[in-house]
Amino acid sequence: MSDVKKVVLAYSGGLDTSVIVKWLQEEYQCEVVTFTADLGQGEEVEPARAKAQALGIKEIYIEDLREEFVRDFVFPMFRANTIYEGEYLLGTSIARPLIAKRLIEIANETGADAISHGATGKGNDQVRFELGAYALKPGVKVIAPWREWDLTSRETLMAYCEKHEIPVDFSTTKKKSPYSMDANLLHISYEGDMLEDPWTEAESDMWRWSVSPEDAPDEATYIEIGYEKGDAVSINGEALSPATILEQLNKIGGANGIGRADIVENRFVGMKARGCYETPGGTILLKSHRAIESITLDREAAHLKDEMMPRYAKVIYNGFWWSEERKMMQAMIDASQEFVTGTVRLKLYKGNVIVVGRQSPYSLFDSSIATFEDDAGAYDQKDAAGFIKLNALRMRIAAQKGRSFLKDEE
């Protein structure tokens, strides 16, 4: 007899998690609570309620978390201009800590002593879910069916459904796409099938959120994004909520062929994996945020942020959102955003995001000093001579002591 009395399952309503519901009931003889999150994946989540009810579930949580997702997770990450291994905007990674948080909160509300998820034993998501769960509820039991059962293919899952009379519509269980996909308001990802060969180009009809750059409009689209303390707050002068901003930028960017990426990344579990991503709104936000920072951040503050960013990105990618080091770095990042307020004007054209203007009431750009014209004495160019000599002093001394870089002087 299992010591698990009640478990909260991250439930999509699809084949895998429907099997997991029944498997948990059979293997652990426990009550199952389902939790379905709307993170802007573009599919209806309410049908999951009827599917859960058909499986005998009495406690069903279906929640719209789009605003919380963007406001409390995506935007804090973008304040750091976060990008993993130079290309990945962490669309899947940043959604997992929020799901883990709600799993634990629901477990506390319902008196559950375990949580469960449908992540496989090969990927990063199992790590992200479970690190978050343990950080928020150290004694919680985590059940990961893919690491326990012997159901290793879609065919065995469907056979299990037939055997246990799980109400799955078998006419719709064939994949609409050959790829393993994950979507939320920040991105949509594609893995598996032909993408497992890193030499093979992705099929043109795979992409769902964006037109190809070749098919994008021949006329550029201009937009203006307003910022307050590092967060986007408006598009073209219209104040919008965080989720609405990202949703609209996804549509605008996708229509202009923006945000596609084909990446081979290093997973935390050790393997390399190829994934294709569409992140149109995030690509625009990354470019525009750096633009507003370029005129509002002090040079050394900006450089310090850039030096810290890869560490911050790795922390998020590896699932340590709820760690002390992430909180420490976040406090530093957020402090840097006090004066990151203003407007950025962008030109979107055939897959490109081009900054064409930026302004801020807190701008550190002083045209009277930077001008190539007469600066009326604002900057004394003679001062540069001493500045250069002082900075050259250590290298001059080294050269005088025989440490020359010129081979003909050796």
Catalytic residues: 16, 96, 125, 180
Contact between residue 99 and residue 37 where contact means Cβ atoms under 8 Å apart:
yes
Q: What is d(CA 221, CA 252) in angstroms, rounded to the nearest whole number?
A: 8
**CA 130 to the chain's CA centroid:** 18
For 330, residues 6+ apart whose C-beta sits below 8 A from its C-beta are: 76
Joined tokens for residue 122 = 């090969």
Let me know the angle formed at the C-alpha of 327 by 229 and 62, rounded to the nearest 5 degrees.
85
How far is residue 25 from each of residues 53, 157, 226, measured CA to CA in Å?
Answer: 14, 16, 50
Amino acid at 97: P
Q: Which of 75, 67, 70, 69 is nearest to 333 (CA)?
A: 75
Alpha-carbon distance of 315 to 310, in angstroms, equals 9
- C-alpha 223: how far from chain center: 23
Which H helix or E strand runs over 109? Answer: helix 96-110
3-state DSSP assignment of residue 302? helix
Residue that the structure tokens 């897959």 belong to: 351
Q: Determine the residue type at 94.
A: I
Beta-carbon contacts of 59 under 8 Å, excluding residues fewer than 6 positions away, are 31, 33, 34, 110
- In Å, how far are 56, 186, 204, 276 from 264, measured between CA atoms? 42, 19, 19, 9
Whole-Å CA distances, 382 to 76, 236, 373, 386, 396: 43, 44, 16, 8, 21
What's the CA gap between 322 and 134, in Å, rounded?
A: 10
